[in-house]
Amino acid sequence: MNHPSARMLELLSLLAAGVPRPGADLAARLGVSPRTLRRDVERLRRLGYRVESARGTGGSYRLPAGQGVPPLLLSEEEAVATAVGLRHAAAAYGGDGPGPVDTALRKLEEALPARLRGRIEGLLAATEVPPGPGRADDLGTVERLATATHLRFHVRFRYAARDGGAGERRAEPHRLVLWAHRWYLLAWDEDRADWRTFRADRVAGLRVPGTTFSPRPVPEESAGLFPRPGEPKGAVLFLAPAGAVARRLSARAGTLEPTGPDRCRYLTGADDWDWLAGALASVGLPYRVEGPPELVRATRALAARAAAATPQDRT
């Protein structure tokens, strides 16, 4: 490894753990003399990396945390896996314009040699990403909610309900859950004195006043994204064995119970009935929608759109 740029990238990788590394060990790993190692360390410092050194037998070097995002050294397999994951994430999260996933993917693909770009295109051509929602979640809001959850800070925000109304909410955030391409916040609603789930894309005007709370024990039945008692729950009877349905069902947040040797019932608390109607149709097995009325209407609307898109048989 004689090229200085390649050595510096390898040196950054060796120092990335944040623990002191003996100079003799670093020099041996890089295949250079102690003098060349010292020069490479100085080059990193001139580039803005605050590499710390300690005197002693042979000396040691350390790169403290908080040094920004250093270049990553990836193997070919790791680079392909990262690019494919980012491409699928960009497709799943959509949005109105380029987001951080898109820009990260562009930077990575520009840095890859042509032979790896060909491997990525081949993988993407043979795989499929289920369509995500029309609007991507605000990653800034998700990040702030995650930080408040981790630090146990109260949050305040305006929330748009399913019926179109909006109101101020005060909550103790407990956990963020990714389900069906959406982020949901599980939190204790202070005004309603009960557990609630909030879709992150319906949160606006998020504020973190800085006050903290003591975590509450979460009832086991409230840990998921299922509806509260009295809220509509999707019920679907599949005319197929539960095992066959489970292998194809993309709507995972629910329960699938056998009701006979060749049929099963699926119960879920989805709050996006149009999306659920499409997910059920994509299973490709016969089924009957039992309720609620919202899911019945969404399924009929989907069937009508499919029929309108299909040319009439004139024979």
Q: What is the CATH number of the domain that holds 26?
A: 1.10.10.10
pLDDT digits (tens, 9 = 90+) for 261-312: 889 998 887 667 887 888 888 888 999 999 888 889 989 988 888 888 777 6
- Report yes or no on 54 lying in a domain: yes
Q: For the residues 1-22, what does the mean pLDDT come to?
A: 73
Residue (of 44, 42, 33) closest to 8 by Cα position: 44
Same domain for 215 and 171, yes or no, is: yes
Q: Which helix (H) or strand (E) holds 166?
A: strand 166-179
Share of the chain above pLDDT 70, in %: 74
CA 80 → CA 16, 94, 127, distances in Å?
22, 21, 14
Q: Which residues, listed in sequence order, are joined to residue 121 by a DSSP beta bridge?
A: none
Same domain for 180 and 108, yes or no, is: no
- Report yes or no on 182 lying in a domain: yes
Of 31 and 111, the one with more pLDDT:
31
Q: What is the Cα–Cα distance from 63 to 49, expressed in whole angstroms?
A: 8
- Report yes or no on 159 lying in a domain: yes
Number of neighbouring beta carbons within 10 Å of residue 147: 12
- Report yes or no on 315 lying in a domain: no
Cα atoms in the 13 Å half-sphere on the side-chain side of 259: 14
- Report yes or no on 133 lying in a domain: no
Q: What is the pLDDT of residue 3?
A: 63
Same domain for 265 and 213, yes or no, is: no
Domain of 146 in residue numbering reads as 141-222
Q: For the residues 49-53, what does the mean pLDDT come to?
A: 84
- Report yes or no on 72 lying in a domain: no
Which pTM was predicted? 0.50
- Please give the tally of structural domains in the chain: 4
The residues, any chain, with a CB within 8 Å of residue 226's CB and separated by 6 or more, are 233, 253, 254, 268, 269
Same domain for 213 and 279, yes or no, is: no
Same domain for 111 and 163, yes or no, is: no
pLDDT digits (tens, 9 = 90+) for 216-274: 887 655 444 444 444 557 889 999 888 888 888 865 567 788 888 889 998 887 667 88
- Report yes or no on 156 lying in a domain: yes
Q: What is the pLDDT of residue 229?
A: 45
Q: Residue 262 belongs to a domain with what CATH number?
A: 3.30.70
Same domain for 216 and 239, yes or no, is: no
Residue 156 has pLDDT above 90, yes or no: yes
Q: What is the pLDDT of residue 168?
A: 92
